[in-house]
Structure 1
Amino acid sequence: MLKRTMIVILSILLGVLLLTGAGAAFLHTPAFGRLPRGERQQRIERSPNYRDGEFRNCQPTTLMTSGQGRVRAMLGFLFRKKPERLRPETPIQVVKSDLRSLDPSQELLVWFGHSSYLIQTGGKRLLVDPVFCRAAPLPLLNRPFAGTDVYTPDDMPDIDYLVITHDHWDHLDYRTVLRLKARIGRVICPLGVGEHFEYWGFDPQRIVELDWDEEALLEEEFSIRCLPARHFSGRGLRANRTLWASFLVESPVQRFFIGGDGGYGDHFARIGRCFPGIELAILENGQYNADWRYIHTLPGQLGRAAEELGAKCVLTVHHSKYALARHAWDEPLRNARRVAEEESLCVLMPQIGQILPIEPRQTETTIKSL
């Protein structure tokens, strides 16, 4: 009996060790990237936004207001009964445009669902947070809605600037950036995120890594400024070792605000005061929940954020491709229509893949159907 008990205990211990080893090996696969080190870490430690071993938001920010913590909240999302209409019942209708034939002198934008989009302005192409392969560590997580995965890295034209707002999996896709690597001029990213790109074989000379309130002159009359967002970061078990950000793009033609992910905060008003004349603000609208209300923008805050930025027009993103929260899949689209109608705000609502002209000084309210 004792021998049998010992065999059972040893078998359990062996199983735990094997699982632990497999988990550790999985977390060290290339897709997880690499935490900052060396000179980059020294630069991070000199940042006024880095304290006690991690980056901090400008305002005190509790990530999970439910008190559950990140892991428990994720497990609850995965295994609780799914609410109705979390995903569309039929494939989403998209437009498959020939992006390689685009005239680079045209001012335009193409949204690919969620937070991935292509901007052409001032004769340059910017690709923001492209996710065309996998938005999670495991293929069964964050499955795209039917019909939304028609674009691949091979469909993209040559890119002058790859802009990454933060290193979460639904914004930084290892397979996508590797397949685009040879056709990317430079990578623009927040402080610390460049470590992933160096680890993945990108030339450090092609990486422009910025702290909040730092600016890079990319070309004559073409610059990008890194600005705050109210969010968090991390691809593995350790959070906030890299920075998250929004960006202000100054082209010779117009001024864009790239909001990235994040909750409402007083940074919107500060940005609007410091940088008046924003032609287009691209703002998060989706995957929100009261349990994480400080790190994602709630529906009632969208119009206020746009007003405080002083944006002439708004495009909302972070919706229509993945179910990362528990609201109905099309609720963000209804939110955008409501803001346009009730607050008289110019809101662009293109179909996924539609080529959308973005000429300067659009002022009329524009609503298009997904």
Structure 2
Amino acid sequence: MKINNEDLVYIKPNLVIEPLIDNWYAWPHIVSPATAAMNIKSRHLKIMKSYVQNPMIHAAAVKNPKMLGGPFIDYNGGRVDEIQSLIDGTTQKCAKLLELNDDILELHSLLKNSAKGYALIDLYPLIPESLQGLVELVYDINNNPSFRFFESLLYETEYYDESIQSVNLFLVLDDDSRTFVLSTPKLASPEILRLDIPFNSDKIDQLFEMSLEPKRYEEILEIFEITDPAQEILFRTFFTTETPKEYQKYDGDGVLTRYFGHACILTETKETTILVDPIISYGYETDISRFSYEDLPEKIDYILITHNHQDHILFETLLRIRHRIGHIIVPKCSGGNIQDPSLKLMFEKIGFHNIIELGDMEIKHFPDFKITGLPFIGEHCDLDVRSKICHSIEFNDGFKMLFAADSCNIAPKLYERIQKVIGDIDVVFLGMECHGAPLSWLYGPLLPNGIQRDMDESRRLAGCNFDQARALIDVFDAKTVFVYAMGMEPWLKHISSIKYTSESEPIVQSNQLLEYCRNKGVEAERLFGEKIIEYKNVINELQIS
């Protein structure tokens, strides 16, 4: 289809925006300055240096299913010179962040060696210069020393550097496969357009508004200042004159939910749209039935974020739909702990607005529903991470849904106490990734002293097993239970690196739960791909397709 400069054009629905920080796929821990510093030093540089030294070891490892998600670059042993160039570029462009990493480690060492339970006033002058005025030194009540960041000030320093942010634009044509985002940096490719713009740029919104509202091609060309002829040829392929399909707004009297994969669920009433943990697939001919961006409403009133992991906060999706979002509801942060950066601050710095923090057992009221934030244990390797929450949504007719995400019911008394406050739940969505990755897989770069292997293996990013899930649904007397696909959808593989078999523990354990529910007369299913569920105005009368 030939596009002329004066044509009114839309973006193609399978146009990807891939956000990057220093040439690596952006996820929350490389946005917040302190965690970014430690990941760039102890993840990115470490992996790239290993690849330059032994590229064929990496090439062999990525072909081994047992090594999925490991620290191995997926360029088939090639492009070594380009990886070396990335190392050189990171060392230069991120010099201040690398210094910040070293100073954080120095501060840990200072506290370990010098904070012995006495007043900390004499240690403040010894804090590394870069951290002066950015941290508070503290003890817990057992006299263990630590520190916390004044994170809002940290974002105002040179350590938050928008110049290392950029985006890739490219089309998904007929394949979901991409390299694993935590292990492989993004190198140049002929079918990818790299744009050096920060995430808060309104150019991103102007581009993706064109999913529904067309612009003249010449206008969008000028907005992005595309002057190189080769880039312009590629840029032109991102657009079409074809009018997108019209979204059919729900007009029933009940609640319509649509499953988009993993933990992403869209809930609609006549008045409100709510999207949980957005991760959206791209549409093309495939044997897996799926919803895509074309199946999203024009306006999404509320985005709910359950916790700060890359399979629940996907900037690729969130930046693409930012212009549609009314409010984002995030878990309330504990305030300055390095392993628990503020989601509210992060979203505001990258261009999102109307961020609402929700705390444990806090209630927010909206026109036709209310949300209660429920605490959850698990999935964070026993680290002190507070920015995690389940969402209990109660509609005005009393119908209640629980989005339990990766809650692990380690302490059943917790939900027994919660049930006494909020009552029973009609529909429960939960994950059962009961044998998740070890602590070091995600949080390793933040650990000042590493961790013993047996300790590391014991502390995992795990959700409920059968017994824990059974206790959760029993205590709330759930009428319907959905276990989400836990990263099995192919469009999640570059994020989750998960490939289950029938013998994998999450499958075995969730099968047990499904059987238990059916024997109990509870509607239950492990979701995959897409699903539509309509809950009529009469509670518990439902239609499933």
Match of 2:522 in 1: 345
Task: Describe the superposition over 1:14-59 as per-residue Cα deviations: whole angstroms up to 9, x where unpaired.
Answer: 999738628958x99xxxxxxxxxxxx99xx9xxxxx9668xxxxx
Q: Is the 8 A contact 1:107 1:120 kept in 2?
A: yes
Match of 1:193 in 2: 343
Match of 1:38 in 2: none
The Cα of 1:179 is off from its aligned counterpart by 1.2
Q: 3-state DSSP class of the match of 1:112?
A: strand
Match of 1:86 in 2: none
Q: Is the 8 A contact 1:271 1:309 kept in 2?
A: no
Match of 1:57 in 2: none
Match of 1:159 in 2: 300
5+ residue gaps, structure 2: 1-51, 54-83, 99-133, 139-144, 149-179, 184-244, 333-341, 437-456
Q: Evaluate the alpha carbon distance shift between residue 16 and residue 273 of structure 1 in structure 2; reply closer, same or farther with a 3 A threshold.
A: same
The Cα of 1:152 is off from its aligned counterpart by 3.6
**2 CA distance for matches of 1:342 and 1:17?**
57
Q: Is the 8 A contact 1:187 1:208 kept in 2?
A: yes
The Cα of 1:337 is off from its aligned counterpart by 2.9
TM-score, normalised with respect to structure 1: 0.62
Task: Describe the superposition over 1:100-132 as per-residue Cα deviations: whole angstroms up to 9, x where unpaired.
Answer: 213144411111121111112463111000112
The Cα of 1:309 is off from its aligned counterpart by 2.1
**1 CA distance for matches of 2:376 and 2:477?**
17
**2 CA distance for matches of 1:23 and 1:261?**
36
1:1-370 mapped onto 2 (5 Å cutoff): 18=88, 21=91, 100-105=247-252, 106-121=254-269, 123-132=271-280, 150-157=290-297, 158-191=299-332, 192-203=342-353, 206-219=354-367, 221-231=368-378, 243-253=387-397, 254-264=399-409, 265-266=411-412, 267-286=414-433, 288-289=435-436, 291-292=458-459, 295-319=462-486, 320-321=488-489, 322=492, 327-328=500-501, 331=508, 334-349=511-526, 352-359=529-536, 360-362=538-540
Whichever residue aligns with residue 347 of structure 2, its letter is F
The Cα of 1:357 is off from its aligned counterpart by 1.1
Q: Is the 8 A contact 2:306 2:388 kept in 1?
A: yes
Point out which structure has higher relative CO (alpha carbons under 8 A, 6+ apart). 1
The Cα of 1:183 is off from its aligned counterpart by 1.1
Q: Evaluate the alpha carbon distance shift between residue 247 and residue 178 of structure 1 in structure 2; reply closer, same or farther with a 3 A threshold.
A: same
Identity of aligned residues (%): 21
TM-score, normalised with respect to structure 2: 0.44
Q: Is the 8 A contact 1:229 1:260 kept in 2?
A: no
Q: Evaluate the alpha carbon distance shift between residue 181 and residue 20 of structure 1 in structure 2; reply closer, same or farther with a 3 A threshold.
A: closer
The Cα of 1:210 is off from its aligned counterpart by 1.3
Residue-pair matches, total: 278
**1 CA distance for matches of 2:391 and 2:472?**
15
Whichever residue aligns with residue 224 of structure 1, its letter is I
Match of 2:113 in 1: none
**2 CA distance for matches of 1:152 and 1:16?**
34
**1 CA distance for matches of 2:94 and 2:356?**
31
**2 CA distance for matches of 1:262 and 1:53?**
28
The Cα of 1:196 is off from its aligned counterpart by 2.2
Q: Evaluate the alpha carbon distance shift between residue 308 and residue 277 of structure 1 in structure 2; reply closer, same or farther with a 3 A threshold.
A: closer
Q: CA RMSD in A?
A: 4.2
Task: Describe the superposition over 1:152-210 as per-residue Cα deviations: whole angstroms up to 9, x where unpaired.
Answer: 4343112111111012110111121111111111111111322221022112xx11111
Q: Which has the larger radius of gyration?
A: 2
Q: Evaluate the alpha carbon distance shift between residue 23 and residue 349 of structure 1 in structure 2; reply closer, same or farther with a 3 A threshold.
A: farther
Q: Evaluate the alpha carbon distance shift between residue 362 and residue 351 of structure 1 in structure 2; reply closer, same or farther with a 3 A threshold.
A: farther
Q: 3-state DSSP class of the match of 2:482?
A: strand
The Cα of 1:287 is off from its aligned counterpart by 5.5
Select the structure that is richer in helix. Answer: 2
Whichever residue aligns with residue 280 of structure 1, its letter is V
